[in-house]
């Protein structure tokens, strides 16, 4: 990495740490306000289904369609787990939702080490504040999985809405996450069909 690259990376890391702290401060203040309504699960399901309708082959078998439905259900179930927190979208949702949006916007690809560093910092402060349930307080791995799945749901919803200027990066994020979890294997098979180049060992998010 050149000095210029290193300087840019350091500046971005500082900016994201500041943004993460601002998110924590906002969430802390939001908890003192009247709670907004919960996110609409039907709207969330429709946004995820739109991805499979748009990119799934018309010749998909019943088994494949059932697999996609299973992926939707596990993502929705994860987002509905406690603790629910006020989101900047103006509703209640998974405590990992806003952090996922910060770490994996469609216009940016961080190294996973940078993502993990920011997520650990957030998790530690959320633990100190007593915001997390027993499972998340005891296990960063479970918290990280929820961040992973929240980001995945966001990316699926963006691509389901139609062509996106950052489709290549979003698709790469989707392929990477779907490849990590056995529960998401139907999604991994679909991404292999639609974007086979993403499974080339030389491919990078950058």
Return the pLDDT at 3: 33
pLDDT at 135: 85
E strand map for 35-193: 84-86, 92-94
**Cα separation, 140 vs 83, whole angstroms:** 15
pLDDT value at residue 56: 95
User: Is 38 strand, coil or helix?
Assistant: strand
Q: For residues 177 and 196, what is the distance between their CA atoms, to the nearest angstrom?
A: 15
CA–CA gap between residue 101 and residue 105 (Å, rounded): 6
The whole-number pLDDT of residue 10 equals 78
Ordered by where they begin, the domains of the chain are: 3-199 (3.90.1200)
What's residue 203's pLDDT? Answer: 52
Please tell me whether residue 84 adopts helix, strand or coil conformation: strand
DSSP, res 35 = P
What percent of the chain stands above pLDDT 70? 93
What is the DSSP code (8-state) at residue 34? P
In this prediction, the residues of the chain whose per-residue pLDDT falls under 70 are 1-8, 201-206
Question: For residue 177, what are its two tokens?
Answer: 């996450």
| 99: number of Cβ within 10 Å | 26
Determine the pLDDT at residue 199. 84
The pLDDT score that the predictor gives to residue 31 is: 85
What's the pTM value of the predicted model, to 2 decimals?
Answer: 0.90
């Amino acid at each position: 990495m050149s000095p210029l690259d290193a300087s840019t990376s350091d500046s971005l890391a500082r900016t994201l740490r500041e943004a993460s702290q601002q998110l924590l401060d906002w969430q802390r203040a939001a908890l003192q306000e009247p709670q907004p309504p919960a996110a609409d699960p039907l709207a969330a399901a429709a946004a995820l289904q739109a991805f499979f309708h748009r990119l799934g082959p018309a010749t998909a078998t019943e088994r494949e369609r059932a697999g996609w439905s299973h992926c939707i259900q596990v993502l929705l179930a994860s987002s509905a787990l406690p603790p629910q927190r006020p989101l900047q979208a103006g509703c209640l949702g998974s405590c990992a939702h806003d952090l996922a949006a910060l770490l994996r916007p469609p216009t940016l690809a961080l190294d996973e080490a940078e993502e993990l560093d920011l997520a650990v910092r957030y998790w530690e402060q959320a633990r100190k504040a007593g915001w997390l349930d027993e499972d998340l307080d005891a296990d960063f791995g479970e918290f990280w999985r929820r961040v992973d799945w929240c980001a995945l749901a966001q990316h699926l919803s963006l691509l389901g809405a139609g062509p996106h200027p950052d489709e290549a990066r979003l698709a790469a994020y989707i392929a990477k996450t779907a490849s990590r979890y056995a529960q998401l294997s139907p999604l991994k098979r679909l991404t292999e069909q639609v974007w086979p180049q993403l499974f080339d060992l030389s491919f990078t998010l950058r």
